[in-house]
């Protein structure tokens, strides 16, 4: 195998030019006629569904917390009454 000097490779790379390719017009034309896909509409509806279920879950957690606090207050009241009677 023939040894190649790295500086020779650098010099060859500097002398190369980029190919003359202009695809901007065709890409912009393709993007201009693209219609929204079915998957985009499905994803949008799934995002709304996830936001609604998150809001519902937050409401359920809040209701459970309030209910739990009331139950704890009731149990604490019973315990304090039993402690008062036991004295």
Q: pLDDT per residue over 22-80, tens digit each?
A: 788 888 788 777 676 777 788 889 999 999 999 999 999 999 888 877 777 777 777 78
Residue 9 in any domain: the answer is no
Residue 12 in any domain: the answer is no
pLDDT, residue 46, reads 93
Q: What range does the domain containing 70 cover?
A: 22-86
pTM over 0.85: no
The pair of three-digit structure tokens given for residue 49, joined into one six-digit string? 């569904």
Residue 68 in any domain: the answer is yes
Number of domains in the chain: 1
Measured between alpha carbons, how far is 10 from 40 in angstroms, rounded to an integer? 46
The pair of three-digit structure tokens given for residue 30, joined into one six-digit string? 């393709």
């Amino acid at each position: 195998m023939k040894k190649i000097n790295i500086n020779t490779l650098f010099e060859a790379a500097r002398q190369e030019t980029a190919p003359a390719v202009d695809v901007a017009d065709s890409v912009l034309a393709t993007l201009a006629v693209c219609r929204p896909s079915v998957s985009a509409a499905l994803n949008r509806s799934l995002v709304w569904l996830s936001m609604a279920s998150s809001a519902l879950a937050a409401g359920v957690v809040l209701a459970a917390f309030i209910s739990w606090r009331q139950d704890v207050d009731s149990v604490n009241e019973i315990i304090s009454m039993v402690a008062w009677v036991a004295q």
